[in-house]
Structure 1
Amino acid sequence: MLDSIALKPATPDHAEAVTAALIRNRDHMRRWDPDRPASFFTPEAQAERLANPDVHRWHLVDGDLIVGEATLSNLVRGALSSVDLGYWVDAAYTGRGLATRLAEESCRAARDDLGLHRVGASTLVDNVVSQRVLHKCGFEQIGTAPRYLHINGEWRDNHLFQRILYDGPHQRAS
């Protein structure tokens, strides 16, 4: 049931639960993820990743389980005023609108909390499910980047997307 799933800011305290989620979903996410060393799938590595102050991160939580994550990274202020969105949802929880919820909340935070103009995202060319999520959330495709990311052992083409959050004068985060 979706009502039991909460959206919470990520903290290093989630390291054990995130590690369990990543191990549980390793095969599910392999086709979209870069190759990861075994050390990535440890609570220590996840605590370090979750403590990074340059990445804004939220978790979908169902009881004691982490069932999804959204990240805003590569934040650029100034004339670009932009950030990149990434997200994943547990294989057992797909098809319930949770990725859309993560993307929408990330865009709200980018606009309201960070005062940004734009959110960018990319998907592998064949990841039509994620492309549908982005379209539902108001993203538009702005191009295709050949050999953009090294995913699952090879350089892969990606579609690039953006969502403009506002068109007014430059804002500063309060």
Structure 2
Amino acid sequence: MLIRQPHQRDAAALARFYTSNAGHLQPWEPLRPEGYHSVSAWEARLREREREQAEGRAAYFAGFDPHTGATIGVCSLTNIVRGAFQACHMGYAVDLSYQGQGWMKAICLHAIHYAFEELRLHRIMANYIPRNERSGQLLQTLGFEQEGLASKYLLINGRWEDHVLTSLLNPNSSH
């Protein structure tokens, strides 16, 4: 698997990833308007993501199958806050056909390494809907610790969903 930050040339691959996984991801994502995952929408979104990365506000990663070029999964580090907080939120999604094979873990580990070693962040926060057992298991495997439960935290698939709040601390943070 090739893990890297996606560029505008990846718009078609990301559009295919999200379109082909719409049913798989729908229970865990906000409702999306018509055309949200079109190639042109992804081209615009990737331009904005490149700006966010250049400004240090976010970092995005995708894992690609080296044989087919298919997108295996994605992981984002968003809402990067500096100052006294030094933290971000992590989100992720895996293609249904690659689920349960360790690919998502590998992509997340790459993003975690980047957050702690390159960005020198202190904390990564990742939250999941309690019934999403796969997501909870992934975060536990990655070393995230549960910090609480937020009631009606995010509007997901048309309803306000509770989320389990977790975090991972940088073991190399000196202060």
Task: Mark yes or no: TM-score above 0.5.
Answer: yes
SS of the aligned residue for 2:31 comes to: coil
Unaligned 5+ segments in structure 2 are 53-57
- Aligned residue identity for 2:108: A
- Alignment check: 8 A CA contact 2:72 2:103 kept: no
What stretches of structure 1 of length at least 5 have no aligned partner?
A: none
Question: What secondary structure, in the 3-state scheme, does the structure 1 residue paired with 2:35 have?
Answer: helix
Distance 1:97 1:49, change over 3 A: same
Q: Distance in 1 between matches of 2:148 and 2:43?
A: 35
Select 2:59's aligned residue among 53, 56, 60.
Answer: 56
Q: Which moved more, 1:59-68 or 1:90-99?
A: 59-68
Q: Does 1:40 align with 2:39?
A: no
CA contact (8 A) 1:147 1:158 kept: yes
TM-aligned CA deviation for residue 38 of structure 1: 1.3
Are the equivalent residues in 2 in contact too, given 1:68–1:90 (CA < 8 A)? yes
**Residue 16 of structure 2: aligned partner:** 20
Aligned pair partner of 1:114 in 119, 129, 134: 119
Distance 1:124 1:168 in 2: 29
Q: CA deviation at 1:166?
A: 3.0
- Using the alignment, how far apart are the partners of 1:37 and 1:143 within structure 2? 31
* Deviation at residue 47 of structure 1 after TM alignment: 1.6
- Give the structure-1-normalised TM-score: 0.91
TM-score by length of 2: 0.91
- In the alignment, the residues of structure 2 paired with residue 168 and residue 94 of structure 1 have an alpha-carbon distance, to the nearest angstrom, of 32
Partner of 1:133: 138
Q: Deviations over 1:1-35 (max 9, x none)?
A: xxxx2212211110011001110000010000100
Secondary structure of the residue aligned to 2:44 is: helix
Indicate if the aligned counterparts of 1:59 and 1:67 stay in contact, CA closer than 8 A.
yes
Number of equivalenced pairs = 166
- Coordinate RMSD, CA, aligned: 1.2
